[in-house]
Structure 1
Amino acid sequence: MSEHNIRVEESDGRATVTIDRPEKANSLTGAMFVEIGDAVAELADAGVDVVTIRGADGTFSAGVDMSDVPEWGSENPLAVRDQLESVHDALRTIEELDAPVVAALEGHVLGGGLELALACDIRIADDSARFGLPESEMGLAMDLGGAQKLPGFVGEGLTKYLVMTGRSIDAERAYDAGLIEELHDASSFDAELRALEDDLAGKPTYVHGLAKRQVHSARPPNIEESMQQAIHHAIAAYQEEETQRRVTDFLED
């Protein structure tokens, strides 16, 4: 599936990785996360100056494709853990790329799509973007870093609000809260994105890499341990009958 859902375009040191599954609101499978990570690793070898991750047809991503989740009930928990760890590895590849990675955010930026955006260095959005973590609606635990990384952007209060209520917020509130760094009208969004890419590409890649290391070094020292804990919490939550019922109801709607 995923080989047709991720597009990579590269020109003059700029690369764009596009989530291209508009019929499913660009929802992400585990394989698609891995393919994004692999694409970013290949771009590192190619020596690109800046990478942009965006979604096709005016929406970033509605989150993780839920169709695979019911299989967790019959799979060995260690196999589920390995699947989730492969996604964590892909997100880590994005974070560790020396070249800056920009998340270009339009429309839905939900669940795993928001967690993908958090792995990028800079988030630029248009005024159609809406941000949320709807996992609680299905009784699911956060598993891709949202609960660990989001407090560093917006604080504990808004993080708990998003995780616990499952509600979404608009782009203006996300900008005011510090979740995104630039907010533009849809009519000027692509031009502003290109200007940001040009600005970033005009500086030495090694300087960006050093900056990332310095900034990431100030993160809580237990964040990797907490990410591992998130995997086990996700597996445990899915074993609850209420969660399985809610996921089934969601897929049947």
Structure 2
Amino acid sequence: MTSTTALRSLRVQIKDAVAEVELIGPGKGNAMGPDFWKELPEVFEALSEDETVRAVLLYGSNGHFSYGLDLAGMAPVFAPMLSAGGMDARKREGFRRQIKDLQDAVSSVSRCAKPVIAAVDGWCIGGAIDVISAADIRIASPAAKFSVREVKVAIVADLGSLQRLPAIIGEGPTRHLALTGEDFDAGRAYRLGLVTELADDVVGRGRELAAAVAANPPLVVQGVKQVMNRGQEPAVQAGLDYVQLWNSAFLASHDFNEAATAFAERRPAVFTGN
């Protein structure tokens, strides 16, 4: 596996058949920048192959899971297409491939042969929802706060939440959250079924759950995950493929530029549908 000392966005520790993967930044609120998107699939693919690992616990540092996509850090991903006004087909195709790479990074959590438990404290926004949606078990602290925020920045969420959340919380709640972009607290997340438990010491409880999973027959545990994923994966992948095309065609917009400018200027965005 990639040496923990070589990682910048994640810290990995393995003990008693449980791997702990901690989001550590380097951006504020563990925002997901280029390092994260490179390292996440490397780590989860390695853990999937590691026969000493039976379960994975995923959580954030410094009181938050993650603020989501690091817009400033990921600007180079968007810049080439936006600079061409969305009119350069080659750049649009390159952008589609970049979206696919980010999707594949999130899907590495779902593909991991070992069950993944996400323990959420503090904020879990946008791309962070995509990541926890790919986990097998989600728990939260009472202080956790969530948002499927992409609509607020003129983006159709494209990394898996629109594909995976309906099977977790239902289509109606998914549409509600994705269309409003509103914040919601841990109590609502629990009532919706996004998380299955609330715990004051959410990482401690996550460790207990991971240990319980790791104590079960490993091939049977992996089989449960594979069988349950089998029925969902074709529909999830079809949705991911479609949103690649949608965003490569429509993301370069006046509204997206307005969202980015308003974010930088710390003011409300005014969208025109252009």
Residues of 2 paired with 1:208 and 1:156: CA distance? 28
Look up the match of 2:262. Answer: 249
Shift of 1:179: 0.5
Residues of 1 paired with 2:62 and 2:36: CA distance? 17
* Aligned residue type for 2:133: L
Residues of 2 paired with 1:129 and 1:22: CA distance? 21
Question: Is structure 2 residue 215 aligned with structure 1 residue 222?
Answer: no
Residues of 1 paired with 2:161 and 2:127: CA distance? 8
Within 5 Å, which residues of 2 pair with 1:118-133?
A: 118-133=133-148
Shift of 1:117: 0.4
Task: Between 222-231 and 171-180, report the one with greater CA deviation.
Answer: 222-231
CA contact under 8 A between 2:93 and 2:248: conserved in structure 1?
A: no
Look up the match of 1:88. Answer: 103
Aligned residue pairs, count: 250
Look up the match of 2:36. Answer: 32
Deviation readout 1:196-220 (Å, 9 max, x if unpaired): 1110110122112211122123327
Shift of 1:22: 6.3
Look up the match of 1:59. Answer: 64
Question: Is structure 2 residue 158 aligned with structure 1 residue 154?
Answer: no
Look up the match of 1:191. Answer: 204
Shift of 1:189: 2.5
CA contact under 8 A between 2:145 and 2:186: conserved in structure 1?
A: yes
* Aligned residue type for 1:226: G
The RMSD of aligned alpha carbons is 1.8
Look up the match of 1:233. Answer: 246
Question: Is structure 2 residue 148 aligned with structure 1 residue 144?
Answer: no
Secondary structure (helix, strand or coil) at the match of 1:64 reads coil
Residues of 1 paired with 2:156 and 2:62: CA distance? 29
CA contact under 8 A between 2:9 and 2:35: conserved in structure 1?
A: no
CA contact under 8 A between 2:18 and 2:55: conserved in structure 1?
A: yes
Look up the match of 1:170. Answer: 185
CA contact under 8 A between 2:169 and 2:193: conserved in structure 1?
A: yes
* Structure 1, unpaired ranges of 5+: none
Secondary structure (helix, strand or coil) at the match of 1:66 reads coil
In 2 relative to 1, CA 130–97 (structure 1 residues): closer, same or farther, beyond 3 Å? Answer: same
CA contact under 8 A between 2:120 and 2:202: conserved in structure 1?
A: no
* Aligned residue type for 1:74: S
Larger Rg: 2
Secondary structure (helix, strand or coil) at the match of 1:164 reads helix
Residues of 2 paired with 1:223 and 1:190: CA distance? 29
Q: Percent same amino acid at aligned positions?
A: 29
Secondary structure (helix, strand or coil) at the match of 2:62 reads helix
Look up the match of 2:19. Answer: 15
Secondary structure (helix, strand or coil) at the match of 1:219 reads helix
Shift of 1:171: 0.6
* Aligned residue type for 1:49: R
Residues of 1 paired with 2:28 and 2:246: CA distance? 27
* Structure 2, unpaired ranges of 5+: 1-5, 85-90, 267-274
Deviation readout 1:7-53 (Å, 9 max, x if unpaired): 11112221111110165111112441231111111122322011111
Shift of 1:115: 0.5
Question: Is structure 2 residue 82 aligned with structure 1 residue 73?
Answer: yes
Question: Is structure 2 residue 18 aligned with structure 1 residue 3?
Answer: no
Secondary structure (helix, strand or coil) at the match of 1:99 reads coil
Deviation readout 1:112-167 (Å, 9 max, x if unpaired): 00100011111011111111111111111111011111111111221111111110
Shift of 1:80: 1.5
In 2 relative to 1, CA 53–191 (structure 1 residues): closer, same or farther, beyond 3 Å? Answer: closer
Shift of 1:59: 0.4
In 2 relative to 1, CA 139–190 (structure 1 residues): closer, same or farther, beyond 3 Å? Answer: closer
Look up the match of 1:43. Answer: 47
Secondary structure (helix, strand or coil) at the match of 2:203 reads helix
* Aligned residue type for 2:55: V
